[in-house]
């Protein structure tokens, strides 16, 4: 059964509050007609209605243009709950805490890279371990891992990975002081101890990209992007097994306490913790620690990418202009101040498969971009374009300052494997000049362009709504997958 929908504006749909007795607010879906049709094919709409039942939720439950069925929340789901009386849902943040994207710019042009592209992709593949269970070059004792969890990227820079200026262009500076490693289980730490600096599997990747189109030259220049053909690197990874275990641990804790707390929710996957309980506070501190791990993970991957470029081009990375554009989290909850019904309120904003997209002036934006707006990084699939946008003021009222995080799946992984042989996918990509290396051939099928929605449609919808404004479109030329 598809929930009742009414179209209330261009690219805006609503499921009324009376659809379910537990709904405290309506559900609001931001999608074009074609994207909405895809959402009708799975449980996206049912899930966004379920999220509207969360205690303390404000305004409405939100599904973004790339939304698709997830665990409890749709991927591409947003919910803001009262910081005192609301409830935190680990499923509304996700198992891969702070799965996110980092983009580096370079001074290189596509003609500089093409003759050495295969060598470059091979060097990245060798230095940045990819695949299920792969371990990295940095082996940590648990005590040192606690420092990573508490300090984040500051730890990595102190150890000689990356440059001090990198932190200026990372959400939360990559070192969230809300973290508390003591709230992360030993099992989670054991899973994460050897995985720092690894890509992982699934939709995680490192891509060498070329700028294909610039929509806003002024903003692009502020981001360090000067011309069509300029080479960028996009890194997409998260908190690996550590983040997955943090989510698993606290979902189990919440399941054991939910009756005691008197919470009745329409889906067990939506299991939540009242924010004022010890368990919720412990989870939030553990979530922040996992987020620090993820930022550090991407930071080490960036270090190895810089080293790959050094080895292939025989030039120091700083001489190649390999500067961070931005690093943004996709699966996270943040304590923020927002205007709600004419009042300034403190809220925990769940963003699952969604990226913060704050406009110019917000104090959370790094100083270097505060007068411009936050960079918004939206990867496509390994055969299509990706985008860099900039936060827009309209998003603050519509989506609590949030934009989509990617194209969004339209085929399940198993369906993609059945329908899309990896050899054919790889051959088609290389026929278009895209060099692909993958740790597992099946991943090439799972992540084929056909498995994803049209990223152009997602971005055009977000731009038309004013969730974020288009700045740059890139295309992949070299891909390393899990």
Specify the pLDDT at position 471. 98
Q: Which two tokens stand for residue 10?
A: 């261009």
| Contact of 275 with 91, CB cutoff 8 Å | no
Distant-in-sequence, close-in-space partners of 479: CB < 8 Å, separation ≥ 6: 121, 205, 206, 207, 208, 382, 429, 434, 435, 436, 437
Determine whether the annotation assigns residue 382 to a binding site: yes
Classify residue 54: in a domain, yes or no: yes
Classify residue 53: in a domain, yes or no: yes
137 is catalytic: no
Classify residue 52: in a domain, yes or no: yes
Specify the pLDDT at position 482. 74
Classify residue 76: in a domain, yes or no: yes
Q: Provide the b/e sequence for 34-72 (b: ≥16 CB within 10 Å).
A: ebbebbeebebbbbbbbbbbbbbbbbbbbbbbbbbbbbb
Output phi, psi for 26, to 5 deg.
Answer: -70, 170
Determine whether the annotation assigns residue 85 to a binding site: no
Determine whether the annotation assigns residue 52 to a binding site: no
Specify the pLDDT at position 134. 59
Determine whether the annotation assigns residue 331 to a binding site: yes
Classify residue 453: in a domain, yes or no: no
Determine whether the annotation assigns residue 7 to a binding site: no
Lowest mean pLDDT: which of 173-182, 255-264, 322-331, 377-386?
Answer: 377-386
Classify residue 47: in a domain, yes or no: yes
Determine whether the annotation assigns residue 380 to a binding site: yes
Classify residue 214: in a domain, yes or no: no
Domain range for 45 is 6-83+333-369
DSSP letter string over 385-422? -EEEEEE-THHHHHHSSEEE-S--BSS-HHHHHHHS-H
Q: Maximum Cα–Cα distance for the chain, whole Å?
A: 65
Distant-in-sequence, close-in-space partners of 368: CB < 8 Å, separation ≥ 6: 168, 169
Classify residue 280: in a domain, yes or no: no
In which band, very low, low, confident or very high, does the pLDDT at 135 lie, cut at 50, 70 and 90?
low
Lowest mean pLDDT: which of 29-38, 81-90, 126-135?
Answer: 126-135
How far, in Å, are 85, 113, 315 from residue 98 at the CA level?
24, 31, 32
pLDDT single digits (tens) 424-475: 887 888 888 889 888 777 777 877 777 777 899 999 999 999 999 999 999 9
In which band, very low, low, confident or very high, does the pLDDT at 21 lie, cut at 50, 70 and 90?
very high
Number of independent structural domains in the chain: 1
pTM of the model: 0.95
pLDDT single digits (tens) 338-388: 999 899 999 999 999 999 999 999 999 999 999 999 999 999 987 789 999
Q: Per the residue annotation, which of 244, 299, 303, 405 is the catalytic one? A: 405
pLDDT single digits (tens) 48-72: 999 999 999 999 999 999 999 999 9
């Amino acid at each position: 059964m598809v929930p009742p929908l009414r179209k209330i504006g261009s690219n805006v749909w609503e499921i009324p509050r009376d659809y379910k007795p537990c709904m405290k607010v309506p559900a609001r879906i931001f999608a074009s007609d074609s994207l909405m049709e895809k959402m009708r094919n799975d449980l996206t709409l049912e899930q966004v209605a379920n999220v509207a039942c969360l205690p303390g939720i404000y305004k409405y439950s939100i599904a973004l243009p790339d939304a698709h069925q997830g665990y409890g929340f749709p991927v591409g789901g947003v919910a803001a709950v009262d910081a005192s009386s609301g409830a935190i849902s680990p499923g509304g943040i996700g198992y891969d805490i702070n799965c996110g994207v980092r983009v580096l710019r370079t001074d290189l042009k596509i003609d500089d890279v093409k003759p050495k592209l295969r060598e470059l992709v091979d060097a990245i593949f060798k230095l940045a371990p990819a695949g299920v269970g792969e371990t990295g070059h940095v082996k940590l004792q648990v005590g040192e891992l606690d420092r990573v969890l508490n300090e984040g990227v500051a730890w990595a820079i102190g150890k000689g990975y990356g440059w001090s200026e990198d932190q200026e262009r990372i959400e939360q500076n990559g070192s969230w002081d809300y973290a508390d490693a003591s709230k992360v289980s030993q099992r989670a730490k054991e899973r994460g101890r050897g995985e720092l600096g690894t890509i992982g599997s699934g939709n995680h990747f490192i891509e060498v990209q070329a700028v294909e189109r610039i929509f806003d030259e002024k903003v692009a220049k502020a981001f360090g992007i000067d011309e069509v053909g300029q080479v960028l690197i996009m890194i997409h990874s998260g908190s690996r097994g550590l983040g997955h275990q943090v989510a698993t641990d606290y979902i189990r804790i919440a399941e054991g306490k939910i009756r005691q707390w008197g919470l009745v929710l329409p889906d067990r996957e939506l299991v939540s913790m009242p924010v004022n309980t010890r368990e919720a506070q412990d989870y939030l501190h553990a979530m922040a620690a996992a987020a620090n791990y993820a930022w550090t993970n991407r930071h080490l991957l960036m270090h190895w990418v810089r080293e790959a470029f050094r080895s292939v081009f025989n030039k120091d990375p700083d001489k190649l202009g390999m500067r961070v554009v931005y690093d943004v989290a996709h699966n996270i909850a943040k304590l923020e101040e927002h205007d709600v019904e004419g009042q300034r309120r403190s809220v925990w904003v769940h963003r699952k498969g969604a990226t913060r997209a704050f406009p110019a002036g917000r104090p959370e934006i790094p100083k270097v971009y505060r007068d411009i707006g936050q960079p918004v990084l939206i990867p496509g699939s390994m055969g299509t374009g990706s985008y860099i946008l900039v936060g827009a003021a309209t998003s603050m009222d519509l989506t609590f300052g949030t934009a989509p995080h990617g194209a969004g799946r339209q085929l399940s992984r198993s369906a993609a494997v059945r329908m899309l042989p990896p050899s054919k996918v790889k051959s088609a990509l290389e026929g278009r000049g895209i060099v692909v290396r993958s740790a597992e051939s099946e991943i090439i099928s799972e992540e084929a362009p056909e498995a994803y929605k049209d990223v152009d449609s997602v971005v055009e919808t977000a731009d038309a709504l004013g969730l974020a404004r288009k700045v740059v479109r890139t295309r992949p030329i070299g891909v390393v997958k899990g």
